[in-house]
Structure 1
């Protein structure tokens, strides 16, 4: 992977494609978690792949690529959801958008998670949706494990508080 990463950073397109193939399933799973729709997840995969191609030179270490892709994917998904939400609100004839009518838990979860900071969202996503250990997250994000634990604890506290506020048990 180190060799592919170095070659991709130097502009070798074949190396970039080979490198990205290792992460396509992960990017797709994250996007699918947000949208629960195959086409939207595939669109996000394509858009994140393009962002990765344009920005690979900014990533210093190959170990950081996985966390970087996770963060970029999550942020891109949130941006797309915000845009879709605004469009839905603009076209909704009643002027309000009911999120909880059909008890769509993934949508509710996305909404509650959106109250967290980016670093807290990343820790939640990597821990509970991607199955990483705190040590792996610390290594991938180049962050002390104590900081990762603190972010996770703060995120869980904020999630519990927000869920109570939203009436979710």
Structure 2
């Protein structure tokens, strides 16, 4: 028997309690508990920001995507079929909202107002060469890279979330790594 695959009972019970606690919050939110819904949003805020940042470049657009996502999630949570997939469900809503903003922005040209500074999360790393290299990738490569490396999602989770094959996720990650390497080598 492989002893490395044995999980101590104490850790297993703590993990089950965490999962049960999160699922009970989702059930409460489905039944209309606003505090449970707010708690779920707060728990997932950083993860959602990372996804939005991977798709959108403007902090203003990210804020819009957040607001629209929260409103839609609150309205649609009674229809969530499996509470275990809350994070995937709300992330899918966010991605759709980000794509809506991209489509909307193609129609308009915006001028940034440098006086306004009310960001949800300050992106302290936006000037790093690596982040600039990632931001220069095409949208599909950029999003997959952000989800995998910055949001710690597995290939299976990304595949399910983006509704693409696992092989496509692996291919995108490989192409993204190669392009980032070439960009970083040139600089």
Verify same fold: TM over 0.5.
yes
Change beyond 3 A, Cα 1:157–1:150: same
| Aligned Cα root-mean-square deviation (Å) | 3.6
Change beyond 3 A, Cα 1:123–1:59: farther
Cα shift readout 1:133-155 (whole Å, capped 9, x = no counterpart): 235x17x949xxxx852231454
1:150 to 147, 167, 185: 167
Gaps in structure 2 of 5+ consecutive residues = 1-21, 110-131
The CA deviation at 1:5 is 0.5
The CA deviation at 1:65 is 1.3
The CA deviation at 1:4 is 0.8
Q: Matches of 2:67 and 2:139 in 1, distance apart? A: 24
Aligned partner of 2:97 in structure 1 is 76
- Normalization by structure 2: what TM-score? 0.57
Q: Matches of 2:31 and 2:52 in 1, distance apart? A: 28
Q: Check conservation: 2:52, 2:95, Cα contact below 8 A.
A: yes
Q: Matches of 1:55 and 1:122 in 2, distance apart? A: 25
Change beyond 3 A, Cα 1:62–1:124: farther
Query: Are positions 1:33 and 2:54 aligned together?
Result: yes
Larger Rg: 1 or 2? 2
Give the stretch that moved more between structures: 30-39 or 42-51: 30-39
- Normalization by structure 1: what TM-score? 0.62
Change beyond 3 A, Cα 1:156–1:18: closer
Gaps in structure 1 of 5+ consecutive residues = 89-103
